[in-house]
């Protein structure tokens, strides 16, 4: 459904009972241009039937958590999905069938799922990003500019830090930053990435991009990209101080995507940073 800026956008949230889902519900509540119209939770959850407003400590909003996405798609303009790859695959197929726009933050899609997403984006507008923080996406643009300006004259190192509970390493955002640098230099990241350098002997290989992960405590997410040239160094840093930043960015993307033609977009498109 195509929306205008003056209309309230009806949002659905996948995984409404989880930590990210609850933050998304709160972010929808906090955005003057959006209203929660559906809150989807996994089948069998004890939260099915709970009022979504009460779930986040607000007044009742008359939206009960449901486990039937198909039944809710007629009530929403856009679905926000931060779930698991197999679940996202099914959700994309349903949204494409019902012509509902999507904002996707699920990571770890397989090549087949990526292809499926590309096919679906010919039918509906989809924003798919590894990070919905405004600051991270501005950092990606700065990294691209710096890497292009320095070219091969600077060595590039990416360092990321996250809490001890994070299950993957390096982070998806670290990959995005390393890839932004590699692409700006005309490289394929798969060919130049070096992880941690355990057991490495000899000098640093020219043109390589180092990627390093730190895990500890309750660090929400810190990223640093160092461009080290002879005689000078540029360091681009981003520090996440609260997780709501990512939820608010996803809701911002939701308000943008409903007005777009079918296609696959990312947060750089939402923020007008392309080109």
Q: Could you list the active site residues?
A: 162, 166
Is 174 marked within a binding site?
Answer: no
Q: State yes or no: 198 annotated in a binding site.
A: no
Write the CB contacts of 10 (distance below 8 Å, at least 6 apart in sequence).
34, 35, 37, 38, 75, 76, 77, 78
How many other CB atoms are there within 10 angstroms of residue 189's CB atom?
15
Rg of the chain, C-alpha, whole Å: 20
Would the annotation count 19 as a binding residue?
yes
196 is in an annotated binding site: no
Q: Could you tell me the CA-to-CA distances from 190 to 29, 83, 175, 183, 213 in Å, in that order?
A: 41, 26, 10, 11, 17
207 in a labelled binding site: no
Residue 231 labelled as part of a binding site: no
- Confirm whether residue 89 is marked as ligand binding: no
Distance from C-alpha of 33 to C-alpha of 7, rounded to nearest angstrom: 7
Q: Is 16 annotated as a binding residue?
A: yes
Annotated binding residue 20: yes
Q: Is 22 annotated as a binding residue?
A: no
Calpha distance 267→265 (Å, rounded): 7
**CA 89 vs CA 23, 84, 104, 164: distances in Å:** 22, 9, 11, 29
18 annotated to bind ligand: yes
Between CA 235 and CA 5 the distance in angstroms is 38
The CA distances from residue 105 to 37, 75, 147, 248, 253, in Å, are 19, 22, 26, 12, 11
Q: State yes or no: 106 annotated in a binding site.
A: yes
Q: At residue 217, what are phi and psi to the nearest 5 degrees?
A: 55, -140
**Alpha helix ranges (H) inside 109-238:** 111-120, 134-150, 172-184, 189-192
The annotation status of 131 as a binding-site residue, yes or no, is yes
Which residues are annotated binding-site positions for NAD(+)? 15-20, 41, 105-107, 129-132
Which residues are annotated binding-site positions for NADP(+)? 42
Which residues are annotated binding-site positions? 15-20, 41-42, 105-107, 129-132, 163, 172-173
Which residues are annotated binding-site positions for (S)-2,3,4,5-tetrahydrodipicolinate? 163, 172-173
């Amino acid at each position: 459904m195509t929306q205008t800026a003056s209309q309230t956008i009806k949002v659905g949230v996948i995984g409404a009972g989880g930590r990210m889902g609850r933050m998304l519900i709160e972010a929808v509540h906090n955005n003057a241009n959006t209203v929660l119209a559906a809150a989807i939770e996994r089948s069998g959850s004890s939260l099915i039937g709970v009022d979504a407003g009460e779930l986040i400590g607000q007044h009742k909003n008359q939206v009960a958590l449901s486990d039937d996405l198909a039944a809710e798609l007629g009530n929403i303009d856009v679905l926000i999905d931060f779930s698991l790859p197999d679940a996202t695959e099914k959700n994309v197929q349903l949204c494409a069938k019902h012509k509902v726009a999507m904002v996707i933050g699920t990571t770890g899609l397989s090549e087949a799922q990526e292809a499926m997403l590309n096919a679906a984006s010919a039918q509906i507008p989809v924003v798919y990003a590894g990070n919905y923080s405004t600051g991270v996406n501005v950092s990606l643009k700065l990294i691209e500019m710096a890497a292009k300006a320095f070219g091969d004259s600077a060595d590039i190192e990416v360092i990321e830090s996250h809490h001890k509970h994070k299950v993957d390493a390096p982070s998806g955002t670290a990959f995005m930053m390393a890839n932004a640098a590699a692409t700006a230099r005309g490289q394929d990241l798969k060919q130049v990435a070096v992880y941690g350098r355990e057991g490495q002997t000899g000098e640093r290989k020219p043109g390589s991009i180092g990627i390093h992960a730190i895990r500890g405590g309750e660090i929400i997410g810190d990223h640093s990209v160092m461009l080290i040239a002879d005689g000078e160094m540029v360091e681009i840093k981003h520090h996440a101080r609260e997780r709501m930043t990512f939820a608010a960015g996803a809701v911002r993307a939701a308000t943008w995507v409903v007005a777009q033609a079918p296609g696959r977009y990312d947060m750089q498109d939402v923020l007008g940073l392309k080109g």
